[in-house]
Chains A and B, each alone.
Chain A
Amino acid sequence: MKKRAGLFSAVLLGVAASVVVAAFASAGSAQNPQTSSATVPVDVDTASLRGPVQPIFYRHDVHVVDFEMDCRYCHFAAEVSANPGLPTMSTCMGCHLIAGAGNPEVEKLKTAVAERRPIEWVEVHQLGSFVRFPHHRHVNSDKGRFEGLDAAEKCMECHGPVDEMPQVYQFATLKMGWCLDCHIESEASRDCTVCHY
């Protein structure tokens, strides 16, 4: 907790170098080498990993575990909007102005920003346009499976162990039966027009 607060304020101040180095040093000691290490990724065959190949090999696992970043730091609207929000490129650059210099994946980001060209991420969780999943209602819920969970744990109920995903893949089936299992368990509405309109 302490470390995370330190990291965040440093990032916000934009003078993060020393703290980030400290964070690197403290991370990744006993982890599975494929899932988390601040010094990777360089020569990873991303096509062999689960999940769609992204234009930049952004490591959710590294950011979540090693840097202990909260999901909501990047997906900033999850609590207030149906749409969780995608980090803007300047959010990335808040850290990567300094952090990760020399990492080829980070260089891709910097090049794109310099060219004012947005990264076109491949959507992993696709919902049909006939169904609504209001993130804010779920992240703020304490019913059923969500009881006693913190925000990140709630995210992972549907998105799976993102902290162990070098490349994000679709964890849940996202089929209606899967939705309903949880809605029944938590006594949420099962009316069709709650989600379909």
Chain B
Amino acid sequence: MSDGMNRRRFLKVLGVAGGGTAALSGCSTDRVEKLVPYLVPPQDQVPGVATWYASTCGECEAGCGLHVRVREGRAVKVEGNPDHPVNRGKLCSRGQASLQGLYNPDRVRGPMARTADGWEAISWDDAIARVVSELGSVDPSRVWFLSGSETGSFGRMIDAWLAAAGANPRVVYEPFAYEALRHANRTIFGIDAIPHFDFANAHVVVSFGTDFLETWLSPVQHARDFADGHAFHEGRMGKFIHVEPRMSMTGMNADEWVAPIPGTEALIALAMTNAIVDGQLATVPSDISRVRGLIDAHTPDAVADRCGVDAETIRRLAREFAAEASLAVAGGVAAQHSQAHITAQAVNLLNYVAGNIGRTVRFDADQARGASRYQEVARLASAMGSGQVGVLFTHAANPVFASPAASGFTDAYQQVGFKVSFARFMDETAALSDLILPDHDPLEQWNDVEPRTGHHALQQPVMRPVFDTRQTGDVLIRVAQQMGGGMASVTQAATFKDHLQGEWRTLQQRLGDRRDFTAFWNASLQAGGVWADAPAQQVRLATGASSFTDVPVWNAATGENFTLIAFPSLAIHDGRGANRPWLQELPDPVSKITWGTWVEMHPETAAEHEIHDGDILEVTTPNGTVSAPAFLYPGVRPDTIAMPLGQGHTSFGRYAEGTGANVYSLLSGEIAGFGGLSFYATATVVKTRGHQMLATNAGRSRQMGRGIAQAVLLGELTGEVEHEEEHADHAAPVPEHIEEVLDAWQESQYEEMEQGDYAADNPRWAMAIDLSRCTGCSACVTACHSENNIPIVGPELMRRGREMSWIRIERYFEGGEHGEPLETRVLPMTCQQCTNAPCEPVCPVYAAYHTPDGLNGQIYNRCVGTRYCGNNCPYKVRYFNWFDFAKEGEPFHAFPEPLNWQLNPDITVRTKGVMEKCTFCVQRIRAKQDQAVLADRELEDGEIMTACQQTCPSHAIVFGDLNDPTSRVSQLSQEERGYHVLEGLNTRPAITYLKKVRNVAEA
């Protein structure tokens, strides 16, 4: 064996230290790596080749289909299932981050029991025996079960289990349970369902506060449909009007933002209905006579003052709404305040008179059926408080955190005799329990979900459980077996998987499928589930609709008070994503703030109170006080403030605890008229002396004439309005003598292009990003983290500007001052792979260089960390490893075991002192090229997908070969709307942006 530190060894040690493959002890040369064989070859696994398993995302109720990429027995990436009817191959940030639920270092690692001084690890047999003993000693009427939304076999099994035990019916807690929508649909149409909203076929969409591109119902599907229905395509596009006191990310995509007085959306919807009926703008169904009095009383003129929107605007909206296929939706927190069901009822009427029911609003399939109303939870809380609950099981719900402190749930919970939690994390509810029986992660378990009627989707384990956890279904079966008696009849199956297969046998019969069951089961597993259409329903006004006579509105704050809007975070939602570092580090699409809570306040209001970005504000409601830094946002009414929910955990894990503030403590625990919670409150704001630099990766919110995110009016493209070129300030003409120098330099560049690999017939990888389709949802950002082993840096480094995220969504405000309407633009910014790249000539070691296929390559093992390239990059898309993020024991270690299991083995884990950047997922390019060469065929256009493109719900990103004139990217790059960011620098980027198109009359 050759010894000694030769150059290669030296580099190898440098490069591998802290890498995914080995733990190194210092800088030693006698490193011994072990190759450990399998005892028995695992099924379907070839080393070095990924196996893909179809499953279903368990992060929200939308039930998107997954393809999970498994390498050597470990899940390393999740992607959407292209054949799944809900998401068609796409995923949101939360879906991408489901891996960090699986590999979360703060998972409960085995069953635990509370002792006098903390927690004690116990065996599963012991844990189950304790449950059996407690259940046997308590009257069944004192047994309760609180779960999260469950729409499939598991939920039904819990119900059967509770019924067999003689216990109370299951209570389901979801803070956002769409109660107002159901209530309104019962009242107006007599149907207890949530219809399908067809954004793809609506040319005019009016959203009354609905954040349908963020968290509402099925955001991935909505994003695709919305982009299809709204984005500019072949000379036409839809129009989207957002009506809400706060411009959410969904609202940022609107052509027009209407900001009414908080809570008065119902008045606008009714006045629009009035204008349509009165002006006979549509064929109004005759049974509208049931609510004629109500409609007649709400003319645009009558409501204008009350809602703060002038009558002419309302009439114009009504005309536009009635003229084309349209869709109105009520939702988001605008449909979750004390009078929100009225808003939803009014919007139902608006859709009804415009003829949208049965067309863009279809009641054929019900959605989000898993949750019960908050008032059931309140009933449980009152039973607990009065000592009537002997045993409470909690599964996938965290009401101690995610319910208003004022509801008294936490105190009541502590009155329960024996509290059993099936939590996967030590969340606030689990921390107060007596026994924790940790459940599998959705990626480790067998289950099914029915996100909408007729869609049956399967979950299957994609790998062996990471920890000593057990699927709750199996635990319930064991408990039932040991209880005996009536409980033994809950299921004949020995395991939950057997039980699930039993349910699917029944389903197969119901579907009339005549195949052998194994064939049906395997086919369903491969496809991710079975999809059947629910029958269409004729919908008329219910007789009960005539009871809709009064229009009470939210009592908006006046004077020194503000209306506080507490909204669900796109990434963290109601708080359940708070311990996923990717989601914490994902800049909020509106504020661009990471790792924390903030208070959105209008700049004019802030100026009045001398408040600046980052000043700590004390927000007080009758229920509590919370401190958070201010974020000045022109997209919120001057009389309104807004705060995101989900932060401020006291127990949940290292990333969640101590981050931000808990906004639930500001909310009222009262049950609204529709049986749900209210996310609006009246608040006062006091500026404290504190100040905190916001942890954000955003620079200026204004473009300052740089022409980075460009837009064009629809009329300019159709020739109706004269085209006005949007000149970036710096794009001044180049003086002649400079031009000569540049030409000569460029010539010399092309001389080199004749040598070696450069002379060959190479592709030119390029990207086209359609800003008319990009919604700013940031799914690409998380997908990039997942694909490219990008570390998270935490709030401190974020504040120092040392973020590592290779792709970011830049958000710019236009207007919004001096009475001008506010327009928001978003632009995904990643390495532009410039042809004349400023980064390349300044690298002293050729680590940054131009590849023959047009990438700006970054060779990590060459890089010595001068950072010249980063200095010279005008797009700020190069990221320097200031620390050994992947090395245990180093500061800012980003991959504590087992988070490092997720690392993609196909790309280097970078070490300290190395510059890194986007290379269009070069590992994916090379993998597909390898496959094509081995199969002796040409690559097809669209075969290579970058991670950002692969997950983009609205299909905004297209990647391909610019040297192939037939490729989609070539064609898009030549579109009239195409431009390059900072074109005047002559960098000649490979990314062509297609201008956003605004469907408004004039700029």
In the complex, how many angstroms separate the beta carbon of B485 from the nearest chain A beta carbon? Answer: 40
The answer to whether B8 touches A192, judged by C-beta atoms less than 8 angstroms apart, is no
Q: Does A132 contact B (CB under 8 A)?
A: yes
Q: Most A CB atoms within 10 A — which of B38, B852, B922? A: B38
Which residues 116-167 in A have Cβ within 8 Å of B in the complex?
Answer: 116, 118-123, 126-132, 134-137, 140
Q: Which of A76-96 contact B (CB under 8 A)?
A: 77, 80-91
Task: Quote the shortest CB–CB distance from A71 to chain B (angstroms).
Answer: 15
- B27 close to chain A: CB less than 8 A: no
Name the residue of chain B whose CB is nearest to the CB of A81: B48
Minimal Cβ-Cβ distance residue in B for A124: B35
**B39 in contact (CB, < 8 A):** yes
In the complex the two chains form, what is the Cα distance from A195 to B933 in whole Å?
16
Instruction: State in angstroms the CA–CA spacing of A134 and B934 once bound together.
Output: 11
Q: Check A193 for interface membership: any CB of B closer than 8 A.
A: yes
**Bound-state Cα–Cα, A175 to B853, Å:** 25
Give min CB distance, A135 to chain B, whole Å: 8
* CB of A187, distance to nearest CB on chain B (Å): 9
Residues of B within 8 A of A91 (CB): 41
Size bracket of the A interface: 35 or more
B21 within 8 A of A: yes
**Chain B interface, >50% SS class:** loop
Q: Which residues of A contact B19 (CB under 8 A)?
A: 129
Give residues of chain A (52-93) contacting chain B, Cβ–Cβ below 8 Å.
Answer: 52, 77, 80-91
Residue of B whose beta carbon sits closest to that of A131 = B861
Given the known A-B contacts A77-B46, A137-B933, are A196 and B861 also in contact in the complex, defined by CB atoms under 8 Å?
A: yes
Say whether B849 faces chain A, with CB atoms less than 8 Å apart.
Answer: yes
Of listed A52, A84, A85, A190, residue having the most chain B CB within 10 A? A85
Question: For the complex, is B859 an interface residue (Cβ under 8 Å from A)?
Answer: yes
Task: List residues of chain B with CB within 8 A of the CB of A122.
Answer: 32-35
The total of chain B residues at the interface (CB under 8 A) is 49
Chain A residues near B46 (CB-CB < 8 A): 77, 80-81, 85
Contact of A129 with B909 in the complex, beta carbons under 8 Å: yes
Q: Could you tell me if B857 and A126 are in contact, using CB atoms closer than 8 angstroms?
A: no
Could you tell me if A50 and B1 are in contact, using CB atoms closer than 8 angstroms? yes
Interface centre among A91, A128, A175 (most CB of B within 10 A): A128
A169 sits at the interface (CB 8 A): yes
Residue of B nearest to A51 (CB): B1
Are A128 and B861 in contact, CB atoms less than 8 angstroms apart?
yes
Instruction: Tell me whether A136 and B8 are in contact in the complex, defined as CB-CB below 8 angstroms, given that A88-B40, A122-B34 are known contacts.
Output: no
User: Given A81-B47, A128-B11, A132-B926, are A88 and B933 also a contact pair (CB < 8 Å)?
Assistant: no
Segment 915-937 of B: residues with Cβ below 8 Å from A? 919, 922-923, 926, 930, 933-934
Q: Cα distance A90–B38 when bound, in Å? A: 8
Residue of A nearest to B31 (CB): A126
B16 interface hit (Cβ, 8 Å):
yes
Residues of chain A within 8 A (CB-CB) of B33 are 122-123, 126
A146 to chain B, nearest CB (A): 14
Which residues of A are found within 8 Å of B757, using beta-carbon distances?
189-191
Known: A82-B48, A190-B756, A197-B922. A128 touches B12 (CB 8 A): yes
Q: Which residues on B sit within 8 Å (CB–CB) of A169?
A: 1
- The residue in chain B whose Cβ has the minimal distance to the Cβ of A79 is B934
What is the CA–CA distance of A130 and B49 in the complex, to the nearest angstrom? 18
B855 at the interface (CB under 8 A from A): yes
- B9 CB → nearest A CB, Å: 9
Contact A192 B930 (CB under 8 A): no
| B923 and A197 within 8 A (CB) | yes
A113 touches B861 (CB 8 A): no
> Does B232 have its Cβ within 8 Å of any Cβ on chain A?
no
Closest-CB distance, A80 to chain B (whole angstroms):
6
Q: Are A194 and B8 in contact (CB under 8 A)?
A: no
Q: Are A136 and B934 in contact (CB under 8 A)?
A: yes
Select which of B15, B31, B48 is within 8 A of A130 by beta carbon.
B15
B857 and A87 form a contact (CB under 8 A): no
Q: A77-B49, A137-B930, A137-B933 are in contact. Are A191 and B851 (CB under 8 A)?
A: yes
Q: In chain A, what residue has the closest Cβ to B914? A: A130
B907 surroundings in chain A (CB, below 8 A): 197
B35 touches A121 (CB 8 A): yes
Chain B residues with CB under 8 A of A127 = 12
Complex interface: chain A residues within 8 A of B559 (CB): none
Does B382 interact with chain A (Cβ within 8 Å)? no
Interface presence of A32 (CB below 8 A): no
Bound CA–CA A9/B919 (angstroms): 48
Residue of A nearest to B907 (CB): A197
Q: Quick check: B38 and A118 within 8 Å, CB to CB?
A: yes
Contact A191 B8, beta carbon cutoff 8 Å: no
Q: Report B756-800 CB contacts with A as 1/0, cut-off 8 Å.
A: 110000000000000000000000000000000000000000000
A83: chain B residues within 8 A (beta carbon) = 47-49
- Chain B's nearest CB lies how many Å from the CB of A89? 5
Q: Which residues of A contact B21 (CB under 8 A)?
A: 129
> Which residue on B lies nearest to A113, using beta carbons?
B39
Which single residue of chain A is at the shortest CB-CB distance from B905? A129
How near does chain B come to A196, taking the closest CB pair, in angstroms? 5
Q: Does A15 contact B (CB under 8 A)?
A: no
Closest A residue to B931 by beta carbon equals: A136
A-contacting residues, B6-23, CB 8 Å = 7-8, 11-12, 15-16, 19-21
Closest to A193 in B: B857
Complex CA gap A88/B757 in Å reads: 40
**Are B34 and A130 neighbours in the complex by a CB distance under 8 Å?**
no
Q: B37 near A118 (CB under 8 angstroms)?
A: yes
Say yes or no for B352: interface residue by CB 8 A criterion.
no
Q: With A86-B47, A197-B908 given, is the CB distance from A118 to B39 under 8 Å?
A: yes
A2-44: contact bitstring with B at CB < 8 Å (1 yes, 0 no)?
0000000000000000000000000000000000000000000
Q: Is A174 an interface residue (CB 8 A)?
A: yes
B756 vs chain A, min Cβ distance (A): 6
Q: B38: which of A89, A173, A189, A194 is its contact (CB, 8 Å)?
A: A89
Cβ of A89 and Cβ of B40 under 8 Å apart? yes
A121 lies within 8 A of B34 (CB): yes
Given contacts A81-B49, A91-B41, A131-B861, contact A123 B12 (CB under 8 A): no
Query: Which residues of chain A come closer than 8 Å to B36, judged between CB atoms?
Result: 118-121
Minimum CB–CB distance from A131 to chain B (whole Å) comes to 7
Tell me if A120 and B34 are in contact (CB < 8 A). yes
Q: Given the known A-B contacts A81-B49, A130-B860, A197-B922, are A89 and B37 also in contact in the complex, defined by CB atoms under 8 Å?
A: yes
User: Which residue among A130, A175, A190, A191 has the maximum number of chain B CB atoms within 10 Å of its CB?
Assistant: A130
In the assembly, what is the distance between CA of A120 and CA of B35, in Å? 6
Closest chain B CB from A122 CB (angstroms): 6
Of B41, B48, B909, most buried by chain A (CB within 10 Å of CB) is B48
Inter-chain CA distance A66–B21, complex, in Å, is 35
**In the complex with contacts A120-B36, A123-B35, A191-B852, A174-B8 CB distance below 8 A:** yes
Instruction: List 29 A-B pairs, Cβ < 8 Å.
Output: A52-B32, A80-B49, A81-B48, A83-B47, A83-B49, A85-B47, A88-B38, A88-B40, A89-B38, A89-B40, A90-B41, A91-B41, A120-B34, A120-B36, A122-B34, A123-B34, A123-B35, A128-B12, A131-B861, A132-B906, A173-B8, A189-B852, A190-B757, A191-B757, A192-B862, A193-B922, A193-B926, A196-B860, A197-B926
Binding site for B on A (CB under 8 A): 50-52, 77, 80-91, 113, 116, 118-123, 126-132, 134-137, 140, 169-170, 173-176, 189-194, 196-197
Top 9 A-B residue pairs of the complex, sorted by shortest distance between their CB atoms: A83-B48, A81-B48, A123-B33, A83-B47, A128-B12, A88-B38, A128-B15, A130-B861, A121-B35
Beyond A190-B756, A192-B851, A196-B859, 7 additional contacts (C-beta under 8 Å) are A88-B41, A121-B34, A170-B2, A175-B7, A193-B859, A196-B908, A197-B908
Interface residues of B (CB under 8 A from A): 1-2, 7-8, 11-12, 15-16, 19-21, 31-41, 46-49, 756-757, 849, 851-853, 855, 857, 859-862, 906-909, 919, 922-923, 926, 930, 933-934
